[in-house]
Structure 1
């Protein structure tokens, strides 16, 4: 940290719109841009306290550079955002060198939390923010409902129908294997804010969900803290209301392919 500012650096290919969206999500923290690859030792200037890396593939050469950086006297906290072409054995090899591994399709929703930016102040108690939960899987629905209640929300369970209920917000476990899921999402998004929980959440699926009107997309399995971070951001204002969207107009994706989720603390 520098004063009250996070000493943050970002490395990724900013010509890729998904990487640019990831950077945009933390641009207010003024990250230092390191380019698409980690520079040679010492060439990037002072070591940051937090380093965000987006990588489509994971190379041995960069792993060695990162290992030396982590072995230095001022090792940074490292957040790795991985693309769909990274292999499981590569992710496992890198996981010991980083603090958090996030999949790229949904990382922009939660990257601010992982770099250390605090969530919005809870000026409105969560119980004053009505929210519905639509989930066709009993066990998953129970876990999400418990997460919401532990965070102070008072969710109302509505099985697998994102339209049911008067609440302005709904957390929906989207059945992405159903051919009409995007139509159902678009219909729900006309009257309430839809936070979409997506299995197989690659770029295509997230882009389709956003084009259908989802105001946020998270992967499954979903980190409970990520879900609450997103909900607090969307519902924190006393006058917050779910936006009404014209689902006929696509929305540009903000930057989980069902890659294995690896987190180390």
Structure 2
């Protein structure tokens, strides 16, 4: 179990609203310190008091960035001490596959930026040895989930996996984009996990109709900012990419149940949209205005 007394750091360009949204999604983590980094990442020798978890967002990865990440990780895994932080990399579409391969051996987790706001909090809490907030295994009694896909193997695997986590689930074939509603003898589900056929025209209109029936968790294949923005505008409660971590899906389902159980009032839910898609770049981070980041200590020049 990770020690939660040590801080958690988030480094990223907070002038980018999408990155600010990711930072906002984890602000409940204990000991969280947030720093806006526009240029190259700081190396370990510049920073004091290493964190238990270092979360980094990069739209692209320079050689200097990778060298900085490497500075936090002892070269020999056997030499790694408890002071070496776990590293989570949230990466953008400009990061190349070869760079991800290099970072995979350095990081405990790689998360695409498009879905990080949905998954990062739970992933971080699990790595800190904490119960993820809104875990799908907690208090989902009475909730029914339909897993809808034209891929039988995928829908059966997800439905069975959710059942194993204590979430009542049904595997449902996708009737296609020309169906207005899904008709089920067993009744309408509270949550629909939909494997969205994003290459077919008209999927957003169907998503709008389905979102009026159930809370829709959209599985988007390889998600990016544009695709997530389009799905959210059509009414998706949350968006995940495929393949996915079943715990991430369970956490989103748990959030839906918590809201429906009245843990958040309707007024609050309206005032705070669920992981709303951020606006375009404004040139200034909202964190610098209404949510000052905790200072991340640097080593003094005399050290």
Normalising by the smaller structure, the TM-score range is 0.7 to 0.9
Distance 1:173 1:122 in 2: 19
Does the C-alpha gap of structure 1 residues 191 and 6 become closer, same or farther in structure 2, counting only changes over 3 Å? farther
1:136-185 Cα offsets, whole Å, 9 max, x none, are 11111111111111111221233115942422211111111111111100
Q: Tell me the number of residue pairs that the alignment of Structure 1 and Structure 2 aligns.
A: 250
Distance 2:261 2:251 in 1: 18
Cα deviation for residue 197 of structure 1 reads 0.8
1:92-111 Cα offsets, whole Å, 9 max, x none, are 01111110001000011010
Any conservation in 2 of the 1:79–1:114 contact (CA below 8 Å)? Answer: no
- Residue 192 of structure 2 is aligned to residue 183 of structure 1: no
For structure 1, the 5+ residue unaligned runs are: 246-250, 256-265
For structure 2, the 5+ residue unaligned runs are: 75-79, 270-274, 280-303
Which of 144, 150, 170 is equivalent to 1:130?
144
Tell me the residue number matched to 2:119.
110
Tell me the residue number matched to 2:156.
142
Cα deviation for residue 60 of structure 1 reads 1.8
Any conservation in 2 of the 1:124–1:238 contact (CA below 8 Å)? Answer: no
Tell me the residue number matched to 1:262.
none
Moved more, 201-210 or 41-50: 41-50
Distance 2:250 2:170 in 1: 16
Any conservation in 2 of the 1:82–1:102 contact (CA below 8 Å)? Answer: yes
Moved more, 39-48 or 221-230: 39-48
Tell me the residue number matched to 2:84.
75
Cα deviation for residue 234 of structure 1 reads 1.9
Distance 2:72 2:61 in 1: 16
State the structure with more CA Rg. Answer: 2
Tell me the residue number matched to 2:21.
21
**SS across alignment from 1:133:** strand
Distance 2:181 2:278 in 1: 24
1:24-70 Cα offsets, whole Å, 9 max, x none, are 00112252123324224433321110010001111222222222211
Q: Over aligned residues, Cα RMSD in angstroms?
A: 2.9
Q: TM-score, normalised by structure 2?
A: 0.74
Does the C-alpha gap of structure 1 residues 125 and 253 become closer, same or farther in structure 2, counting only changes over 3 Å? same
